[in-house]
Structure 1
Amino acid sequence: MTNIDNLEKQPQVFVSYAIADREAARAIVRGLRSHNLNVWLDDNQLYPRSNWAESMRSAVSASAYFLLLVSKHLVNSHWVSKETEDVLKELQNRDITFLPILLEDCDIPPSLATYQCFDMRSGIEDNLEKLANALRFTAEIDFEKLSPQTFEQLVTDLLQKLGFINLQSESQQSDSGIDAIVEFRHKDPFGAENREVYAVETKFYRDSRADLRTLQQLIGYVKKNPKIDKALLVTNGNLTSVALDWVSDAPKSTGIPIRVVDGTELKRLLLHNTELVSKYFATSLGHA
């Protein structure tokens, strides 16, 4: 099989960037292509006054991954922060994995603050192989090959990797309708430690999606437990459109913050934890 045949079989990676970062973008594209990845570079985008969200709809429709190069140039483009939210919503609707690539130290826009960046601040060449391997690994992820129990264990392992502390597992909460209660600790700007407790529900679907009832039940549990601060739903699929709208309004309407990690975001998180990809998808990756 030729390299061209291999490229055609690879999922498409779309690279987006500020115009001042064009050379960095081209270097990343050359490097990823040298690792036999199918990369599409938009050489005509992110000009001032352009409607980014509108132009991206057709350009990314065939892509599995959307890479955004984050730099001072991008951050200082005031119009980007307005367009970014529309683009992220479009990517979610199309089940396209979004991955911000951090090129240098800069203030991350609020619209990107919840996303873990792939760090290339030490240099593009030094990190290309790691990025290529991460994209290649996650391209093999197929949640439907897992059993519900295995998917739940994958989520547990990932939460631990992200720094959560498992306080109570499913066996301890057998009558609650949730899978775990976890704790996350972080420091505020003044050095004081903050503690947040989450009620976690893991939902594995084959032919359906997480609906409004699932979310309302999770919120209901949190309301009855004053020691729990937030709700977290992790699913291999996507939310229904009604559920998506409800999640956006939930903090105001219910007083309970809720975080949803759907299948697309779950893949993005696994980009940073490829050892879990090897562990749970070893067969499809061709490992023993």
Structure 2
Amino acid sequence: MTNKLKVSMVQMQVTDQVEINVQKAIELTKEAAKSNPDVIVLPENFHLMGTKQDFFEKAETIDGPTITKLRETARELSTYIVAGTMKLRVNEDGKLKNTCCVINPEGEIQDVYDKIHTFNAQVGGRTHDGSQVEDAGDRIVVTNIKGVPVGLSVCFDIRFPEMFRILALKGAKVILVPAIFMLHTGKDHWEVLLRARAIENQVFMVAPATHGKFPPHDDWSYGRSMVIDPWGLMIAQSSDKDGVVTVELDLDLVEDVRKRVPSLSQRRPDVYNWSEFDH
């Protein structure tokens, strides 16, 4: 396994116009490629934000035009692209999946992760019911990028520490968190949650996000895409605009932190009786 991984995060504002969003995502991906990263990561819902009807009417399949363009782009740039998430149609009659696709430098879909925790909450005086649009995933995924085990998660997942502990125990040294985090919660929770998950699991957290207003109600997304190191320090953050942030991760730091504070090796699963709470 290499001891370095160079990652680029794309931050962008998302509209209800698929063509505009996808064009912007590809332009920013090509801008990121100028820094010669190992992997470029797009935010959640980079393809579309809008009404429930918009999502169902404009949903694509995994072999549709947007993922096909990104596969061509990955092959052209000879780099990994993690396609944040898109609402993908699995069958004609059912709900959609909020899916993160990992595309390798050959343009192949290497792994997919379907968001496990749908966004159901009351934020900013508005009720959000993601489960009306998407079916929750049921598989925790660690992919391999240039020999580095990389965990996959999405936005609201960040509030469920059990999932991140499992990703770490499955070998993840880096965990990706593409997001469209609300301004109301982002200003108080975004950095805190990312730092907590990094400290607990002694991993790098790489979190590209959308920024600015988004449809259908002109709510604000928080932006502030950031990278947190295994000690819990923020080592990169985007400004409040479309753009790219690139940072090289020193993976030796993961092992160094785990030796200095060996909390993972001191776990006591023999006394963690979850069964009495799992109902």
- TM-score, reference length from structure 2: 0.31
Highest RCO, 1 vs 2 (Cα 8 Å, sep ≥ 6):
2
User: As a proportion of its length, which structure holds more strand?
Assistant: 2
